[in-house]
Amino acid sequence: MINVDHLTKRYGPVTAVDGLSFEVGPGRVTGFLGPNGAGKTTTLRMLLGLAAPTSGTATINGVRYRDLPNPLRTVGAALENDCFHPGRSAAEHLRIMSTAAGISRSRATRVLDIVGLAEAGHRRVGTYSLGMRQRLTLATALLGDPGVLILDEPLNGLDPDGIRWMRDLLHQLADEGRTVLVSSHLLAETAQTVQDVVVISHGRLAAEGPVTELIQARHTDNLEDLFFDLTSDRANNRALEVHSS
Amino acid sequence: MTTIVRLTHAELRKLVASRTYLIGLALSVGLAVISVAVNAATAGHNGHAALGTAASTDKMLKLGVLCAVGMLVLGILGSGSEYKYKTIIPAMLAGPRRGTLVAAKVIGIAVAGAIFSVLTFGSGLAVTVAELSAHHFHQLPADTGTLFWGSVVTGTLFGVIGVALGYITRSTIAAVVGAVGWVLFFELAILHTLVPHMAKWLVTGAASTLTDPGVLASKALTPAAAVAVLSTYAVVLLAVASGLVLRRDVA
C-alpha cells in the first residue's frame, strides 16, 4: 500500500507538489498521470526518499522509504532508464545492487532472464539500446522480489513487442497481489495497462479511482478524454477555486 | 550482514567492476617501477647522488606522490561519477540512509587506497632493492619504514579527501579542477610563498612530511602530527560532504 498524505514540495517560489493526497492499493495496476511539470516525478522522488517534502508524508506500507529495513526487498523502483555506469555490464550492475541489498547472486541472473536480457547480460550497458536499458531498469526494480513497484515512464523506448510484454508483466505482477504504480504520459498505452488512475495537475490531485468509474462519472469516452477533461485549464481553474475556498 | 557491511562490499565491487581502479593501479605501479628504474639509471651522473647513497635511495623511494595523486583522482571518480552517471539514484534506493551510504563509500575507498598504496610503494621498493642488490648494496635508509607507511596513510587519506570533494561538487571535473587549483595555486603559489612557516600545516606540507625523505628529515612535523593534520583535513571535508549529501535532493 502506498499512501501520500498532504504532500507538498516547494522550490523557492515554485510549488511543484501542492498538498497532494492519494492511496494506491495492492492487486491492481495504478496509472499516475499528469501533464509535463505536473509534479509526478517529484512526488515519486519524495516517495522514494530522494527528495525531502516541504510538508506532508509519503509512506509505503505505513513506513517512510528511508525507514524500511531493507528497501529493495519491499519496493522496486525504476525512475530513469540511464542510471547505469556505461562501463559496467548489466550482470555487474545487478550484482552490485544485490550485494548492497543482501540478495543472492542467483536472483540477479533470474531477473535478467525475466526481462529478456540473459544473453546480453555480459555486454557493457554503454552499448545498450534505450529499450534494453528500460528492461535493465525494470530488472533492477524486480531484484528484491518486492511487493510494491513504482515505475516512472516504463514504456518509454520500448517497441510494440516490448510494450505488450511490459503490459503483460505488469498485469501478472498485480495479479500476484503486488502494488503497482506506473507513471506515464502515453495515454493510449496506459489505457490498456492500468485499472486505476491517480491524475494530478499543477501539483494537485485532479482525480483518483478506477478508470471505468471515472470515465462514467465525467461523461467522457476514454482515458484520453478523461485526462484532458481533468487537466485542462478550465478544470484547473475549477480546482483552484475549490482549493482556495 | 549489517547494512554498512553490505554497502561497503557493494562499493568495493563497483571499484573492480568499473575497471578504472584496476587501470589506475596498474598505471601507478608501472610509474613507480619506471621512476625507480630511471633514478637508478641516472644515479652518479650529471650531478645526481651515486647509487647506494642515502640521498640516491631516498630519491628512488619518493613514491608517495603517486599514491596521493592516484587515490585523490580515484576518490573523486568514486563519488563524483555517481552523479555523472546517475548511479547515485540506485545507490540511494539500496541505501536510503545517506550517512551510512557515505560511510560505506569512505570505508570502501580507504580499503582500496591502502591496497593501492601498498602495491605502488611496494613495487617501487622491490625494484629499488633489486637495483641496489645488483650493485652489491644491501642496506636501505633508516627512514624507509616511515616512508612506506607514510605513503600508505597519505594515499588512503587522499582517497577519502577525493570522495569528499566528489560529493561536495557532484562533478568529477569540478572536483579535479578544484583540487589541482587548491594545491597549485592556493597552497604552493600563495601560501608557501607568503607564509612559508605555515606550509607544514597545509595538505601538501603534511603529505610531504609523510612521503618526502627530505621534508621528513627536516622534522618540521613529526609523522604522527602530519597524520593528524591530514586526517583533520579529511574529516572536515567529509563532514561538509556528508552534510550536503544528507540535505540535498537527488535530481
Contact residues on chain B for A140, CB-CB shorter than 8 A: 90
For residue A209, the 8-state DSSP code is E
Give the chain A residue whose CA is nearest to the CA of B83. A83
DSSP string for residues in A59-90: EETTB-GGG-SSHHHHEEEE--TT-S-TTSBH
Judged by a CB distance cut-off of 8 A, whether residue A52 touches chain B is yes
Give the chain A residue whose CA is nearest to the CA of B98. A66
User: In Å, how far is A24's CA from the nearest CA of chain B?
Assistant: 20
Q: Given a cut of 90, is residue B60 above it in pLDDT?
A: yes
Query: CB–CB of B93 and A48 under 8 A?
Result: yes
Q: Given a cut of 90, is residue B217 above it in pLDDT?
A: no
Please give the pLDDT value at position B107. 98
Nearest CA to B165 out of B65, B237, B109 is that of: B237
Residue among B6, B14, B90 whose CB faces A102 most closely? B6
Contact residues on chain B for A49, CB-CB shorter than 8 A: 92, 96
Contact residues on chain A for B97, CB-CB shorter than 8 A: 66
Calpha distance A153→A135 (Å, rounded) = 12
Q: Given a cut of 90, is residue B19 above it in pLDDT?
A: no
Query: CB–CB of A68 and B96 under 8 A?
Result: yes
Query: CB–CB of A99 and B97 under 8 A?
Result: no
Please give the pLDDT value at position B138. 87
Judged by phi (left if over 0) then psi (alpha if -120 to 50, else beta), residue A203 lies in left
Q: Given a cut of 70, is residue B235 above it in pLDDT?
A: yes
Cα of B169 vs its chain's centroid, Å? 19
Please give the pLDDT value at position B69. 96
- Distances in Å between the Cα of A97 and the Cα atoms of A86, A93, A243 are 15, 6, 43
For residue B185, the 8-state DSSP code is I
Please give the pLDDT value at position B148. 96
Please give the pLDDT value at position A172. 95
**pTM given for the model:** 0.91
Per-residue pLDDT tens over the stretch B146-163? 999 999 999 999 999 999
Contact residues on chain B for A75, CB-CB shorter than 8 A: 93
Please give the pLDDT value at position B243. 97
The residues with which A148 forms a beta bridge, in sequence order, are A75, A179
Residue among A66, A93, A97 whose CB faces B97 most closely? A66
Counted across chains A and B, CB pairs separated by less than 8 A come out at: 81
Residue among B10, B19, B96 whose CB faces A96 most closely? B10
Q: Chain B: which residues have CB within 8 Å of chain A?
A: 1, 6-7, 9-10, 13-14, 17-20, 81, 85-87, 89-97, 247, 249-250
Cell of B22: 584496476
Calculate mean pLDDT across residues B9-35. 94
Strands (E), chain A: 2-11, 14-24, 29-33, 55-60, 75-78, 148-152, 179-183, 196-201, 204-210
C-beta separation of A41 from A100 below 8 A: no
User: In Å, how far is B155's CA from the nearest CA of chain A?
Assistant: 25
Query: CB–CB of B93 and A77 under 8 A?
Result: yes
Please give the pLDDT value at position B193. 84
Please give the pLDDT value at position B218. 82
Q: Given a cut of 60, is residue B236 above it in pLDDT?
A: yes
Please give the pLDDT value at position A19. 96
Calpha distance B239→B27 (Å, rounded) = 31
Calpha distance B251→B199 (Å, rounded) = 40
Contact residues on chain A for B7, CB-CB shorter than 8 A: 100
Amino acid at B193: T
Q: Given a cut of 80, is residue B97 above it in pLDDT?
A: yes
Query: CB–CB of B86 and A82 under 8 A?
Result: yes
- Grid coordinates 568529477 are at which residue? B172
User: In Å, how far is B100's CA from the nearest CA of chain A?
Assistant: 11
Per-10-residue mean pLDDT of chain A, 245 residues long, equals: 96 95 96 93 96 97 94 94 92 96 94 95 94 94 96 88 92 96 88 94 94 91 89 64 54
Give the chain B residue whose CA is nearest to the CA of A53. B249
What average pLDDT is seen over chain B?
Answer: 94
Domains with residue ranges and CATH for chain A: 2-235 (3.40.50.300)
Question: How does residue B66 score in pLDDT terms, banded at 50, 70 and 90?
Answer: very high
Residue among A48, A99, A140 whose CB faces B13 most closely? A99
User: In Å, how far is B34's CA from the nearest CA of chain A?
Assistant: 29
ipTM of the complex: 0.91
Contact residues on chain A for B81, CB-CB shorter than 8 A: 85
